[in-house]
Amino acid sequence: MSAPIPTVESIETVVSTTGVNFKDPVQLLGYAMKVIKEMSALSSLSTDAQSAAIVAAVKHGIKDSTLTPEEQTIALTWCDTALPHVVQAVTIVKADVAKVEAVVVADAQKCCPSFFSK
């Protein structure tokens, strides 16, 4: 059975927007990275579906913030234009790390088989 599809509300219970200054690009990216982490941990959605859900969750946080309408437009535009690329980059890096991990474990098993015996 696959993991349930997280909702914007379920992500927000785990990743709080409290104290996040969405005007600050570093804080906006940091919040987005936390959402990416939680979304990938909670869901088995395809990359495209996860990306859309992540964008929706971050946008929801921005819309609920105290930003002015102009500031919200800037942050929401970033979500539409840059955030999907951030999600894709995180996915690529995670896949590469998994490949490296598999090679390291295989080499360790060859080198030190006693560590892996029961």
CA distance from start to end of the chain? 30
Give percent above pLDDT 90 in the chain: 50
Per-residue pLDDT, averaged over 4-19, amounts to 71
Q: For the stretch 56-94, what's the b/e string if a residue is b when 16 or more beta carbons lie within 10 angstroms of its beta carbon?
A: ebbbbbbeebebeeeebeebbebbeeebbebbeebeeee
Q: Answer yes or no: is 46 within a domain.
A: yes
Amino acid 59: pLDDT: 95
Q: How many domains does the chain have?
A: 1
Confidence class for position 7, pLDDT limits 50, 70, 90: low
- Kind plus residue range of the DSSP H or E element containing 94: helix 83-111
Q: Answer yes or no: is 57 within a domain.
A: yes
- Tokens 């990359």 belong to 47
Residue 26: exposed, middle, or buried by beta-carbon count in 10 A (0-12, 13-18, 19+)? exposed
The mean of the pLDDT values for the chain is: 86
Q: Answer yes or no: is 115 within a domain.
A: no
Query: Tens digits of per-residue pLDDT, 39-91?
Result: 887 667 777 888 888 999 999 999 999 999 999 999 999 999 999 999 999 98
Q: Answer yes or no: is 74 within a domain.
A: yes
Amino acid 2: pLDDT: 54
> Would you say 33 and 87 are in contact if contact means Cβ atoms under 8 Å apart?
no
- Residue ranges making up the domain that contains 32: 8-87
Amino acid 15: pLDDT: 84
pLDDT at position 112 over 60: yes
Q: Give CA–CA dist 28/62, Å, rounded.
A: 9
Q: Answer yes or no: is 37 within a domain.
A: yes
Q: Answer yes or no: is 61 within a domain.
A: yes
Amino acid 12: pLDDT: 66
Q: Answer yes or no: is 92 within a domain.
A: no
